[in-house]
Structure 1
């Protein structure tokens, strides 16, 4: 279940988060996600395999992980080195009913480190989804 939640974030959840946090319309958010997928060679089959459990999160391809990083960087939530930009995230959620939950998740997940920036982004997304 945790794997499905974490990986669904790549498309549906991240699109919703980006729309809410940056006041982007759905088309712009989908364009951002699609652009990062294309930039990193991620196919919809790759995402479907992760969502269905055919591929486990620990076996996710590097291009999927880098697509996650791309989305977070372009949304302003992570820098190119894999550092989560917690102040930007807090600011985006400051006036929402999710601000307390985001604060708690940031405390728990902001120190997650992977093997590289892409892996870090992927693991952070998994940490948030596993809350």
Structure 2
């Protein structure tokens, strides 16, 4: 149950991270762009989140939404995870201000994960980092 709650909070973590460094207007803009770019529907995202992030509902569109959000924040570019950008984003969140060592450990452990394509890679990395406790 605890593990599924951590995974379920994955998108909450994305929202918290993004909202902590950009305005609501920019957040809305990024989400609209990523919905369009990934071709994911809000219904698909809702089903994925409400399922407890079941892997079978992590469609390519859902994974590409994750990649898009990471790209918009400089944490994923040209098929590569930009670890220092993601670490900086996490470290800028007030809740994580005293967790720099944990952030660096999570980034190091998740940095080299590879998926079947760029969207799958972004999903694997983001899920791995979430499993290290960066969800709230």
CA contact (8 A) 1:4 1:50 kept: no
Aligned to 2:45: 47
Alignment partners' CA distance in 1, 2:9 and 2:41: 14
Report the alpha carbon displacement of residue 8 of structure 1 after superposing the two structures with TM.
4.4
**Structure ranking higher on relative contact order (CA contacts 8 Å, 6+ apart):** 2
Report the alpha carbon displacement of residue 46 of structure 1 after superposing the two structures with TM.
0.8
- RMSD, matched Cα: 2.4
Report the alpha carbon displacement of residue 127 of structure 1 after superposing the two structures with TM.
0.7
CA contact (8 A) 2:7 2:127 kept: yes
Normalised by the size of structure 2, how large is the TM-score? 0.78
Structure 2 residue runs without a partner (length 5+): none
Q: Stretches of 4+ moved more than 6 A in 1?
A: none
Normalised by the size of structure 1, how large is the TM-score? 0.80
Q: 2:34 aligns with which of 36, 56, 68?
A: 36
- Superposed, 1:1-131 pairs within 5 Å as 2=3, 5-6=6-7, 8-10=9-11, 12-20=12-20, 23-53=21-51, 56-81=54-79, 83-92=80-89, 93=91, 96-131=97-132
